[in-house]
Structure 1
């Protein structure tokens, strides 16, 4: 457990890394338009991370992943691979997942983008997914069971008649991309881990329009919904504090505070 807790230096460095991760998601928004290729989006993000921020795209080469970011469109749940022949279309919903290494520290965040004119139904899926993440932040503080996060997310999502993907979860993060503990986005009564001040982990619910089942495509990375329904995801890197939490990857124009006081 001690190895999962970050000291003041670790936290300082992760704030620097987290700011870069957030910045990537901020600067890419104007480029999310119809007829742009996903490879162009990948290239812009890669240039910004490496040349502007002098950081490292954590996804590139991770277990042989071929690109610097993940771009997942419509029924792609996660780990979508960019391609110059894959163009965004009017009405698409797109998840961009960014992971950055700066000064040997990882941070990770993702969000949904709308391409052109998106239907109310599809926007609603994204709004519910984001709200499920935001609601879970209100339970985070020292001494609370980690499975409370998944309980809150699952209850809210299923109340709205959507489903939570179970095969993928949040994770501790720091000097490694994936660390202890696992953060499930559904309730598990067998999860007895307690949040402690100094823990840093991601919360990244993947919410499906229809059933929660997913499948892996032939490239070994791209995960799609099994039934062709749409999927949405939002992710933040979160620091547990004595009184609440801090969003390490907080972005401009988010309608939530960077610091949560959860008394």
Structure 2
């Protein structure tokens, strides 16, 4: 069941989204060669809690940390680790969620670590832009897969592939609500978009093939062919006058 949010709930979600966006800006400043992913996790948890929020991911289905840190070929759900030291040329996808006043915000970014290759930077840039191509279709009376098709079409036009096994989702009081939001598919399908829907739209784009697999820890997902992957996500409200990105700090 898709839960439609009223204006008061959207306002709560704006505040939660703002906290997530600000947390990611803090993490972006901290990402550099030599830092561990565990240190990044500590920065995020302290930043969120000091502002009255609660990290969404910590303890969620047993996840042990406050953010997901996925490096290079890791697609999503990487676990922060004191032994995982970032090095020059890496890319890191950080997925962050926060609960504030009972409502969720959820967003992800892929950051360069120091100087990275042109190939890696292009993957990051195209992944980000594919999100915005999808958001252009997040309009009242469009269909859900109009978003999906726009993301896939843009990413694949650069020769990249779109992860099939993990998708975006509705969001509200719960982190994962209906509907699922694929980043691929034919347009004109799925539920009609209506004002008050809130979606976490999150393209996960691979340099190589789209197939992924889970590591033995049961969480970390990697590309099967070992190629780089990038992730870009925001929480988006469908409103009468168009989409509003709740987790993007201008």
Deviations along 1:75-114, one digit per CA (max 9) or x if unpaired, are 0000000110110000001111100000110110011111
CA distance in 2 between counterparts of 1:42 and 1:111 reads 14
Deviates more, 1:71-80 or 1:27-36: 27-36
> For structure 2, which runs of at least 5 residues remain unmatched after alignment?
none
Q: 1:111-126 maps to which residues of 2 (within 5 A)?
A: 111-126=109-124
Number of residue equivalences = 250
Give 1:108's aligned residue: 106
- Secondary structure of the residue that 1:96 maps to in structure 2? strand
What's the CA shift for 1:192? 2.7
Given that 2:148 and 2:187 are in contact with CA atoms closer than 8 Å, whether structure 1 keeps it comes out as: no
CA distance in 2 between counterparts of 1:180 and 1:81 reads 26
Asked whether 1:61 is paired with 2:59, we answer: yes
1:176-255 equivalent positions in 2, closer than 5 A: 176-188=174-186, 191-252=189-250
In structure 1, stretches of 5+ residues that fail to align are 253-263
Give secondary structure in 2 for the equivalent of 1:167.
Answer: coil
TM-score, scaled to structure 2: 0.98
CA contact (8 A) 2:146 2:187 kept: no
CA contact (8 A) 2:143 2:187 kept: no
Matches within 5 A, 1:35-46: 35-46=34-45
CA distance, structure 2, for counterparts of residue 80 and residue 198 of structure 1:
32
SS at match of 1:28: helix
SS at match of 2:235: strand
Write the distance in 1 (CA, Å) between the matches of 2:216 and 2:65.
17
**Structure 2 SS opposite 1:54:** coil
- Greater displacement, 130-139 / 208-217: 130-139
| TM-score, normalised relative to structure 1 | 0.93
1:153-183 Cα shifts (integer Å, max 9, x gaps): 1111111000000111110100111101111
With over 3 angstroms needed to count, the CA separation of the structure-2 counterparts of 1:75 and 1:193, relative to structure 1, is: same
- Tell me, what secondary structure is at the counterpart of 1:220? coil
What is the alpha-carbon root mean square deviation over aligned residues? 1.1
